[in-house]
Amino acid sequence: MRALRFGAVAEAYERFRPGYPGEIVDLVTSYAGEPPRTVLEIGAGTGKATRLFARPGVRVTATDPDPAMLAELSRHVPADVRTMQVAFEDVPLSERHDLVFAAAALHWTAPEGRWTRMAGLLRPGGVFASIGGPVQLADPAVVAAVQAARSPFLDTDDIPSPDGTPPEDPLQWPGKEMQRSGWFHDVRQTVIERRMTMTADEFVGYLSTVSAYLELLASQQEQVFDRILRALPPVVEITGDLIVQMGRRAATRSGGCDG
């Protein structure tokens, strides 16, 4: 399972993956109309988004199928955060939450029945939030140099839209999918712009946590990272815009399809 390869690079994931800005909590809280008291995270990884919501008075449950990722998470979040080693498809439906969210993780879940299960994890009126976006080199010349460097091993390291939504569409995945399910209404999308710099070593460290590279043999990884490192300037400009999509769980399903 490709989603379970991240545990081997859990420390690098925590070190090199950008974190999430606190304004996400304000955005979700404003949409919900009140602070969530019970929060469930899908695919929590090392807890980079978990720690945003782990505040006094909030019960947070962080789920992930990979024990190594959860072990790393436990080093960085408050002790009262509950963890569950479980894939989204197997999260017990015995509890309903005010907020369920996924940060750079929803695309790893199975599409069949995704939204019926999501609705089952939320109280009526509860909120689902999807947070994510690509981390990309900003300079087209550097992008071209990296593409040439990795080309013997990978044509692309992008994660395509799971439903084929083109990047210019005003509502990105999973927004339309959420709407079509009939379980969610008032679906909204907000883009949080992020610009940052990384050293060449840091950017290659980030690439070492990207699934396309994790699929390569260890010897191939060593070669491609060496080639990319030599193609990079000492410091690179990065765009890391975050797409935040939110939907409100309907009391009853209004029709539509789900997977």
More confident residue, 40 or 6: 40
State mean pLDDT over 33-54.
98
- Smallest Cα–Cα separation from 132: which of 190, 90, 176? 190
In this prediction, residues 180-185 reach a mean pLDDT of 96
CATH of 2-133+159-194+241-249, one of 3.40.50.300, 3.40.50.10490, 3.40.50.150, 3.90.650.10: 3.40.50.150
Q: Tell if the pTM clears 0.85, that is, is over it.
A: yes
* CA–CA dist 30, 190 (Å, integer): 12
pLDDT digits (tens, 9 = 90+) for 112-136: 999 999 999 999 999 999 999 999 9
- pLDDT value of position 205: 98
Quote the pLDDT of residue 4.
54
In angstroms, rounded to a whole number, what is the distance separating the alpha carbons of residues 48 and 239?
A: 18
Give the model's pLDDT for residue 161. 86
The answer to whether 6 touches 208, Cβ cutoff 8 Å, is no
The pLDDT tens digits for 193-209 are: 999 999 999 999 999 99
Q: Distance of alpha carbon 255 from its chain centroid, rounded?
A: 28
pLDDT digits (tens, 9 = 90+) for 82-91: 999 999 999 9
69-73, 166-170, 243-247: the lowest-pLDDT one:
166-170
